[in-house]
Amino acid sequence: MAVFEVFPTVFFLTLLSLRTYQSEVLAERLPLTPVSLKVSTNSAHQSLHLQWTVQNLPYHQELKMVFQIQISRIETSNVIWVGNYSTTVKWNQVLHWSWESELPLECATHFVRIKSTVVDARFPEPNFWSNWSSWVEVNVQDSLGQDILFVFPKDKLVEEGANVTICYVSRNIQNNVSCYWEGKQIYGEQLDPHVSVFHLSSVPFIRKTGADMYCEVSQGNVSKGIKGIVLFVSKVLEEPKDFSCETQDFKTLHCTWDPGVDTALGWSKQPSQSYTLFESFSGENKLCTHKNWCNWQITQDSQETYNFTLIAENYLRKRSVNILFNLTHRVYPMNPFSVDFENVNATNAKMTWKVHSMKKDFTYLCQIELYGEGKMMQYNVSIKVNGEYYLSELEPATEYMAQVRCADASHFWKWSEWSGQNFTTLEAAPSEAPDVWRNVNSEPGSHIVTLFWKPLSKLHANGKILFYNVVVENLDKPSRSELHSIPASAKSTKLTLNRHSYQVWVTANNSVGASPASIIVISADPENQEVEEERIAGTEGGFSLSWKPQPGDVVGYVVDWCDHPKYTLCDLQWKNVGPNATSTVISTDTFRPGVRYNFRIYGLSTKRIACLLAKKTGYSQELAPSDNPHVLVDKLTSHSFTLSWKYYSTESQPGFIQGYHVYLKSKARQCHPRFEKAVLSDGSECCKYKIDNPEEKALIVDNLKPKSFYEFFVTPFTSAGEGPNATFTKVTTPDEHSTMLIYILLPMFFCVLLIMIVCYLKSQWIKETCYPDIPDPYKSSILSLIKFKEKPHLTIMNVSDCIPDAIEVVSKPEGTKLQFRKSLTETELTRPNYVYLLPTEKNYSGPGPFICFENLTYNQAASDSGSCGHVPVPVNNPPSQLGLMISPENVQKALEKNYMNSLGEISAGETSLNYVSQLASPMSGDKDSLPTNPVEPPHCSEYKRQMAVPLCLVSPPPTENSSLSSITLLNPGEHYR
C-alpha cells in the first residue's frame, strides 16, 4: 500500500522536472534556424522549389512557426520578393515551398535565403527571428548550351488577359537581335548585356495553336539565325450557366448546363474543361462524359432532396455552381402520344391522346392548341391516364392543326414537348352570297351587260366552289328566264339583252349546295351618261370620294374603277358603301403614279336598280408630261407664223395638262410682246409664253422681222412640272417681196399648167389646124389637066409648063443692099416682098386668078416672123396692057443668071428664100392661047414646080416708060393686074 502511495509522488516529481527543463530551454532561446536549404527549378512552370529542415526542434514537439523567404535577382542586394510561409513543424520534418517567377528563370540568376520564428501560443512573448540562412544561388543559364540565342519561356500556358514576361539570352553582345510578336516588332528593356526582357500586357486569345514570338540574330546585314517560342493563351474558364436537374420517370435525374466557351488548345497543350457532379447528402460524385449534360441514377431509398455541385476544371483554374431541390418539384413529363380525331363533321371534332404512366396518383395538366384560318385557340384539361377533348364551333372545309402537351398538375415545373396532328372538317353549303357588280354598254336595240363577281372567301365558301349559276329573268315577260352555268375559274360573264328590264340572280355552288343569291336589276333605260366628270387629287392614302345624298329609298352605293385603266382588260373593281354614307376612301396597292383613274358612283334603289350619280377622275400622284406635242408651222409670213398642235392628246398624259409653255429664241435676244425672259436648264436664255388653257393648241407668233432666223419649242406642263427637254425647231421668215412674187407666180404657174394640159389633150387638133401636112407634089391632080405635047412623060411641072404670076422675096432689112423708108414700122419691115410676073400677050385682058402659097416649112424666117401668106392688093391703075414679053424658059434662064451673078453680092443671113408655087391653070390647052375671060379657078390641091427666087433678082416696079420685057418689081403688099 505504501508502494502505491509513493509511485504517484515519483511520477509527479518527474513530470514537474520535465516541464521545468522545457521552460529552461525556451528561456535560453535555443536557435530554431532553418538548415539544409535546397532550391530546385521547374522550367515548365517557371518556379523555384525550396526544401529545408529546422534545427534544434525539441523531440516529438510540434511548433507553429513562420518562415520568411527572401528572393533576389542578379545579385543578392536586388531583393525582388519577400514573403512569409506559416506551418506547423514537427521534429525532423522536411519542409517544402514553391514560388513562381514572372521572369523566366533562364533569364537571370536568382538568390534565396530563409529565416524563421515561433508563433506557438504555448511559448511566452516576445518572439524573435532566427538568423538568415546562407544565400542559395540558382543559375540556369549555365546549363543552356552553346547556341548564339535563346528565347524563354518555352511553351508557356496562360489565360487570356494575363501579363507575360519574355526574354532572350544572346551569347555574343556584338549581335543585333530583333524580336517580333505575331509579325510585329516589339522592343524591350535590357537586364544585362546578354539579356533583354519584353513585357506583354493582357495578351489576347489569338488561336488554339498558340501565338508566335521569335527573335532574329544578325551581324550587319547578315542573318545568323532565328529562335522563337509559342505562347499558348487559353480562353478564361467560365462558370457553368443554367444548371438544372429534372426527372421524367422518377428513375433518372437528367442534369443540364451551359458550358460556355471551350478552353481546349491545340497540340494537346490543354484539353477541354472537365465537369464533375458531386451530391453532398450522399457524398457521391460522378465525372461527366459530356460537356453540357450528365445523368444521375436515383436510388430506391426515400431521398427526395438533392444538393448538387457542378465543378468545371482545366489546367489553369476551377469553377463550380450549386443547386438544391426536391425531386417531386422537378418533374418534366414525356411527350403525349397516339393523338387522334374522331367524329369529325363540318363544325365539330373529338380529340384523343395518351400519356406515360408515372407514380401512383400522379395528375397531368394538359394544354391543347388549335390552329386554323390564321387563328389560335387554347384549351386546358386535367387527366390521369388518357385524355380527350371536344372541339366545337369549327369552320367547314377547313384544315386545322391540333397539338397537346402536359405537365405535373401538383407542382408545375415544365411543359412536355408538343404532340399534334392535322385534320380537316367537312364541307357545307356556302354561307354568303357572292359580291356581284355589272357594266352596261348600250347598243342599238340591246344592252351588252358584263357581270363581275368576287370569289367567296374561304370562310364563306365552306368548301371548293365548283361553278356559278346565273339566272336571267325578263321582268317584262316573267315567264321567261335563262340559266347560265359558269365555271368556278371565271370571274365574269357577258350577256346580250334586249331593251327590257331584267333581274339577274348569281349563286356560288359547291359539292353540298348553293349559296344565297345575289340579285341585281338591269333597267331597260340606258344609263345617264350626261353626268359631268369632276377632277380629284389623290394622296398616298388613296382617293377620297364624296357625293350628294340621294332622295328616296337607297339601299347603298357602289363605287367602281379600273385597276389597270390603260389595258383592254382593265380589271374592274368596286366597293360597296352603306346607305347613310356620302363619302369613302379608295385605297389599294395597285395605284401607280402617273396613271389616271376614273371612278363612277352609283346609287342602288330598293329595286336593286343602279343609277349613275357622279364621275370622278384623278391621279394618285401627278407626274410631268411624258412627251411633247408635234408642232406644225403654218401661215409663215415675213412677220409672223402660226404654231399648232391640235392632234396632241392630253388624256394619255401622266397628269392633268394645265397649259403649254412656248419657248422662242432669236438672234436679237429680245422678247416679243406677250413673251417673257426665261432661263433653260442648260443655262441658255430664251423667251417664254405661257398658255393657261389646255384646249388652246395654237399660237400666232407675230412682230417678227423678215428674213430672220428663229427657234421654238413647245412643251406642256402639269402640277408636277414641264414635259421632257427636246431640241428646238428652226424656222426662217421669208423676205416680204418674195411673198408678193409668190402671189403673182402661183396663179401664173397654174394658168400655164392648165394651158399645157389643154394643149396636150388637143394636140392633134392643133397640129391639123396650124401645121397641116405638106402635100406630095408627085400626087398632085393638076398634072392631069395639062396636055403635054412635047414631053408627055413628065410628071413634075417645069417652069416652062406654067406661067409664073408672082415671085416672093423675103429679106431682112439689115445692111446696105436694100433701103426702106424710115417711116416704116417694125411690122412693115418684116413683111415679105413679092415680085409679080405679069403676062404680056396682046390678047391678055387682065390678070388671071392666082393663089400664092408659102411653104413655111422651107421658110424658117418667115415662119418665125409669123407671116403665113400675103394678100395681093389691087392698084388703082392696073397695067392691063402689060404682059410677059418673054417665054417661061427665058424667064427661068434670066432668073438663074441673075441669081448666080448676085451670089457674090449677097451676104450670109441677109436674104431668105421663100418658095412660091404657081397654081396650074384651070384651062387645059396650049399655054400660048390664054382665055380672054377666065373664070375663077377652084382651089387646086396640087402644085407644079416650086421656085426659089432670091431678093437680088427683083427689079423695080414697071413704069409707063419701062420695057415690058423685063420683070416688074412690086412693093411689099402690092401687085398689078
964 vs 781: CA distance, rounded Å: 33
CB distance 430 to 517 below 8 Å: no
Q: How high is the pLDDT of residue 240?
A: 95
What is residue 909's predicted lDDT score, i.e. its pLDDT?
Answer: 40
Looking at 282, 311, 329, the residue that finishes a domain is 329
Domain of 388: which CATH number? 2.60.40.10
Same domain, yes or no: 663 and 530: no
Residue 570 lies inside a defined structural domain of this protein: yes
Whether this model's pTM surpasses 0.85: no
Report the distance separating Cα 932 and Cα 921, nearest Å: 13
In a domain, 442, yes or no: yes
Instruction: Please indicate, yes or no, whether residues 516 and 652 belong to a single structural domain of this protein.
Output: no
- The answer to whether position 954 is within a domain reads no
Q: What pLDDT shows up at residue 321?
A: 96
Same structural domain, 411 and 476: no
Give the per-residue pLDDT at 897: 46
CA distances to 289, 818, 830, 953 from 814, rounded to whole Å, are 148, 8, 11, 17
Give yes or no: residues 280 and 190 share one domain. Answer: no
- Do the domain assignments include residue 709? yes
What is the reported pLDDT for 69? 96
| Same-domain pairing of 725 and 686 | yes
Mean pLDDT by 10 residues, the chain (977 residues): 43 46 46 88 91 84 91 94 94 92 92 92 76 93 86 93 94 89 93 92 94 91 90 95 93 94 93 95 93 91 88 95 94 94 94 89 93 92 91 93 95 94 94 93 87 91 94 85 92 90 93 93 80 89 89 89 85 91 90 92 90 92 92 89 91 91 86 85 87 92 87 92 89 77 81 88 80 68 52 53 57 42 39 45 45 44 39 40 41 45 41 43 40 42 43 42 38 40
Residues 554 and 587 in one domain: yes
Domain that holds residue 716: 632-739
Domain end position, chosen among 296, 329, 362? 329
Cis peptide bond prior to 593, omega within 30° of 0: no
The pLDDT of residue 84 is 95
C-alpha 815: how far from chain center = 93
Q: What is the DSSP letter of 778?
A: G
17-46 residue pLDDT tens: 444 444 444 444 556 889 999 999 998 889
The grid cell for 308 is 448538387
Query: What is the b/e burial string over 138-176, where b = at least 16 CB atoms within 10 angstroms of the residue's CB?
Result: bebbeeeeeeebbbbbeebbbbeebebbbbbbbeeeebe
Residues 446, 410 share a domain: no
151 and 80 fall within a common domain: no
H or E stretch covering 472: strand 467-474
Residue 355 sits in the same domain as residue 503 = no
Q: What is the Cα 869 distance to its own chain's centre? A: 91
Q: What is the pLDDT of residue 2?
A: 42
Same domain as 278, residue 193: no
Phi, psi of 284 (to 5 degrees): -95, 155
Q: At residue 182, what is the residue type?
A: E
Same domain, 570 and 466: yes
758 lies in some domain: no
Give Dmax (Cα) for the chain.
250
Question: Which uninterrupted H or E stretch holds 686?
Answer: strand 685-691
Q: Do 81 and 127 share a domain, yes or no?
A: yes
The residue among 619, 651, 672 that closes a domain is: 619
Residue 56, pLDDT score: 80
Using DSSP, state whether 763 is helix, strand or coil: helix
Q: Is residue 17 part of a domain?
A: no
* Residue 461 included in any domain: yes
Phi, psi of 738 (to 5 degrees): -65, -25
Nearest to 841 by CA among 934, 912, 769: 934
Q: Is residue 23 part of a domain?
A: no
In total, how many domains does the chain have? Answer: 6
Quote the percentage of the chain above a pLDDT of 90. Answer: 48
Q: What was the pLDDT predicted at 782?
A: 57
